């Protein structure tokens, strides 16, 4: 389960300061093209962490990176074709990755061949449908069950925090009553 995504001040900030550091160990020296979105569009009950400040961002308008192309030293980043596709074997428009069919899909061929994502706005691999954000799934607007459990858990924690806050207010009111009583006795 994850409860936070890492973001930077801008998408480029994250690509350079977080993703690239991890990829350098694999011989990849820079970030190429990337796709970003907002927490709201992502559709998951997660917050973001700014990679530069390590502060948690909860605003649903916070920009996050969905995919980053990592490029080897001396290699050029991919450029979009006439339909806005970045990667190979894409059919449709504005796809990112390889062997996507449809529009605005993000994914990478997992090595078994065939089509990666079929449909529109799918993220992951081997998805069929619309707005499917996981792997090997079919349908419309799906999130894996573990992420749904995280959402339910967050809702329970939020309710618990509200109960604690109410309890703290009751204690504070009680303390004020005791203080007023002591003040009255001293007068």
Looking at residue 31, its pLDDT comes to: 64
**pLDDT given at position 121:** 85
Give 77's contacts (C-beta < 8 A, 6+ positions apart).
30, 32, 33, 69, 71
- pTM for the predicted model, two decimal places: 0.54
Q: What pLDDT, on a 0 to 100 scale, did the predictor assign at position 82?
A: 93
Q: What is the pLDDT of residue 163?
A: 80
How many residues does this entry show for the chain? 187
Report the alpha-carbon distance of residue 160 to residue 178 in Å, rounded: 27
Please, where are the H alpha helices in the chain?
A: 11-14, 20-24, 39-42, 145-186
Residues of the chain with pLDDT under 70: 1-32, 42-45, 51, 108-115, 141-158
> What is the sign, positive or negative, of the torsion defined by CA atoms of 58, 60, 63, 68?
positive
Q: Are residues 68 and 15 in contact, defined by beta-carbon separation less than 8 angstroms?
A: yes
User: Residue 96 corresponds to which tokens in the numbers above?
Assistant: 């990112």
Residues with Cβ within 8 Å of 183's Cβ and at least 6 positions away in sequence, in order, are: none
130 Cβ contact partners less than 8 Å away, ≥ 6 residues apart: 119, 120, 121, 122, 140, 141
What pLDDT does residue 146 have?
A: 45
Burial 23-56 (b: 16+ CB within 10 A, else e): beeeebebbbbbbbbebeebebbbbbbbbeeeee
Residues 6 or more apart whose CB falls under 8 angstroms from that of 52 comprise 8, 9, 13, 17
């Amino acid at each position: 389960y994850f409860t936070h995504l890492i973001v930077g001040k801008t998408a480029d900030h994250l690509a350079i300061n977080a993703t690239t550091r991890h990829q350098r160990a694999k011989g990849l020296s820079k970030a190429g093209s990337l796709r970003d979105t907002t927490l709201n569009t992502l559709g998951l009950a997660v917050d973001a962490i700014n990679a530069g400040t390590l502060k948690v961002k909860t605003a649903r308008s916070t920009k996050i990176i969905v995919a980053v192309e990592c490029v080897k030293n001396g290699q050029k980043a991919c450029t979009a074709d006439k339909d806005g596709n970045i990667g190979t074997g894409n059919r449709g428009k504005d796809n990112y990755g390889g062997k996507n069919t449809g529009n605005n899909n993000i994914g990478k061929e997992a090595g078994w061949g065939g089509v990666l994502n079929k449909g529109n706005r799918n993220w992951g691999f081997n998805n069929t449908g619309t707005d499917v954000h996981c792997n090997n799934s079919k349908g419309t607007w799906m999130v894996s069950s573990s992420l749904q459990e995280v959402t339910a858990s967050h809702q329970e924690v939020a309710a618990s925090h509200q109960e604690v806050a109410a309890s703290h207010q009751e204690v504070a009111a009680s303390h004020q009553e005791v203080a007023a009583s002591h003040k009255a006795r001293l007068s």
